[in-house]
Amino acid sequence: MASHSSQTAQKDNHPSIINFLIEDKKEAPINLQASFELLNKYRNQVKRFRNDEPCNPSPLKEKPNTIRSGSQGSNSNHRLLSAESIMRIARNRILQPKSQKPVEYLSPENEMYLNLALCLLTAAEKFSLQQYDQAEELLIRVLSASRAGHPVERLVTCFGEDLRMKIYLQKGKTVREQETFCMDVEKAVMNLKVPIRMCEQRLAISQVTHFTGIQMILDSVSSAERIHFVDVGIKLGSYWIILMHALANRENVPLKLLKITAICTSKDMMEETGELLSSFAETMNLPFEFKRVYSEMNEIKKDMFDLEADEVLVVYLQFCLISLSASPPKLEALIREIKNLNPNMMVVSEIEANVNGSTFIDRFHEALFLCSAVFDSLEACLERDNEYRKSAEEVYYQEIIRKVVETEGNESFKQFLKIDFWRDYFARFGIVEMELSKSSIVQASLLLKESDCWSGCTLSMNRKCMLIGWNGMAIRSVSAWKFRHD
């Protein structure tokens, strides 16, 4: 049997200082619900510019943080296990089939989902042993599951589809052209911007990520009159409304100019975002400029930016590192040019994952547990028939899974790495980690109280970095950095 990484599926064990800080914090929090209402209101402004797109967001809906039992109309009262719990039981059964102690009684539904998980994990094992026919046979059962059901069903079909494609390629089978289509995720995200915006507003992990980063930025520019934000890798940008609202209501230091520069590759990508932000700034009577720099992230140059000596410059990186980490020269080019901009601070939001095992089966397990936690969070926050959830699962997360499953055993897969790696990497460039402000930590904790269905979201600290996860499994990280010029 292939070796298994000892880090697979382990939850974050770094000590948390968050509860201490909450008790210590005395300042009044920002009005979080007001920020959600702002996002709702100004997303509807898109109608003025894109009349052919639906722009009626559903309000944030509270519901218990439990997994629904069975299909609609089921009278069963038993508790369904989460996808992560079921995957953990399945993995233990496969790794220790003889010495494994009898598990607690599982309900028929939980047993059914466990069998699906066992089929998928066994199929992956068979594939790693080049037993392709047996793996393909197991996948027939896996792919019979519903893509609109329990998180386990949705998860195994995503992984199963890509594993089947990999088997077909290994066996030399003819694959239909549409099945081998390589998706441009960036373009797909822009085409689905309304569904993804609506998803993000209702997902605890996304909201905590944005609010924590924005609060850090607000704290760093509290006395600045002219502020310039450079958003590298911007996709939607609606989170800037929260920051703009806070700056517009700042009393001590009047704002003379807020400038946001978006790095994007297409002229069409940021048109709507620019219109939305400009509309909001006008409503708030906020001096504002929105600029676009059309460039690949690794090709940006200092002379592309309208920099001014008296402005405070902050760089925001969201999921940029993972998109370039497979190409070290491109990643290094980006970091060196950001340092050349000499920002006052850089805020980084990334996926917190170690999908970097030396073998296929290690990577498969690592990705499976990460996605299990993600799909459990989607289950808690969105209805199963929610069109936005379906779009996110079938576009964004499916592509992440595809990258993991289709990576060959001799390839060095470096796309998903943890904050410990990035901390060491940044140190090579003289980039030093900053303490997260107390207010940003407290705001993140308070935000989770906005909805009962967000109770599964967990916060912890890895040194100075905040880890945001689901039921203890870290999924994202938020950190702040300053540049040392020796």
Q: Is residue 8 part of a domain?
A: no
Percentage of the chain beyond pLDDT 70 is 72
Evaluate whether 436 touches 466 at the Cβ level (below 8 Å).
Answer: yes
**In a 10 Å sphere around its CB, with 0-12 CB exposed, 13-18 middle and 19+ buried, how is residue 446 labelled?**
middle
Say which CATH number the domain at 31 has. Answer: 3.40.50.150
In this structure, are strands 345-351 and 457-462 parallel, antiparallel, or unpaired? unpaired
List pLDDT tens digits, range 149-201: 999 999 999 999 989 988 988 888 755 544 544 545 555 555 556 666 677 78
Of 378, 405, 432, the one marking the end of a domain is 405
Q: Is residue 350 part of a domain?
A: yes
Residue 467 exposure: Cα atoms within 13 Å on the Cβ side: 23
Q: Is residue 245 part of a domain?
A: yes
Query: Within this chain, do residues 210 and 344 fall inside the same structural domain, yes or no?
Result: yes
Q: In this predicted model, which residue has the larger pLDDT, 227 or 400? A: 227
For residue 274, the enclosing domain spans: 18-57+195-355+412-483
Query: Within this chain, do residues 239 and 370 fall inside the same structural domain, yes or no?
Result: no
Query: Within this chain, do residues 175 and 221 fall inside the same structural domain, yes or no?
Result: no
- Structural domains in the chain (count): 2
Q: In this predicted model, which residue has the larger pLDDT, 43 or 171? A: 171
pLDDT surpassing 90 at residue 342: yes
Q: Confidence band (pLDDT; 50, 70, 90) for 250?
A: confident
List pLDDT tens digits, range 358-408: 788 888 998 899 999 999 999 999 999 888 788 778 776 777 777 777 665
The predicted pLDDT at position 53 comes to 43
- Give me the chain's average pLDDT, please: 79
List pLDDT tens digits, range 77-97: 468 899 999 999 999 888 876
The predicted pLDDT at position 164 comes to 92
Query: Within this chain, do residues 234 and 289 fall inside the same structural domain, yes or no?
Result: yes
Q: Is residue 461 part of a domain?
A: yes
Query: Within this chain, do residues 392 and 445 fall inside the same structural domain, yes or no?
Result: no
Question: Distance between CA atoms of 390 and 441, rounded to whole angstroms?
Answer: 31
Q: Confidence band (pLDDT; 50, 70, 90) for 219?
A: very high
Query: Within this chain, do residues 332 and 431 fall inside the same structural domain, yes or no?
Result: yes
pLDDT surpassing 50 at residue 129: yes
The predicted pLDDT at position 49 comes to 37
Reported pTM: 0.80
The predicted pLDDT at position 67 comes to 52
Q: Is residue 63 part of a domain?
A: no
The predicted pLDDT at position 423 comes to 96
List pLDDT tens digits, range 291-321: 988 888 888 899 899 999 999 999 999 888 8
The predicted pLDDT at position 451 comes to 86
Of 405, 439, 467, the one marking the end of a domain is 405
pLDDT surpassing 50 at residue 26: no
pLDDT surpassing 70 at residue 104: no
Q: Is residue 73 part of a domain?
A: no
Query: Within this chain, do residues 346 and 314 fall inside the same structural domain, yes or no?
Result: yes
Q: Is residue 176 part of a domain?
A: yes
Average pLDDT over residues 419-433: 95
Of 375, 405, 435, the one marking the end of a domain is 405
Q: Is residue 69 part of a domain?
A: no
Q: Confidence band (pLDDT; 50, 70, 90) for 133?
A: very high
The predicted pLDDT at position 170 comes to 86
Query: Within this chain, do residues 365 and 448 fall inside the same structural domain, yes or no?
Result: no
Query: Within this chain, do residues 351 and 458 fall inside the same structural domain, yes or no?
Result: yes
Phi-psi domain of 345 (left: phi exceeds 0; alpha: psi -120 through 50; beta: other): beta
Query: Within this chain, do residues 335 and 417 fall inside the same structural domain, yes or no?
Result: yes
Average pLDDT over residues 23-33: 46
The predicted pLDDT at position 478 comes to 96
Q: In this predicted model, which residue has the larger pLDDT, 455 or 189? A: 455
Q: Confidence band (pLDDT; 50, 70, 90) for 239?
A: confident
Evaluate whether 252 touches 215 at the Cβ level (below 8 Å).
Answer: no
Question: Distance between CA atoms of 186 and 188, rounded to whole angstroms?
Answer: 5
Name the nearest CA neighbour of 288 among 243, 222, 223, 251: 243
Highest mean pLDDT range out of 96-100, 254-258, 398-402? 254-258
Query: Within this chain, do residues 360 and 348 fall inside the same structural domain, yes or no?
Result: no
Query: Within this chain, do residues 128 and 180 fall inside the same structural domain, yes or no?
Result: yes
**Reduced to 3 states, what is the DSSP secondary structure of residue 161?**
helix
List pLDDT tens digits, range 434-453: 999 888 998 899 989 888 89
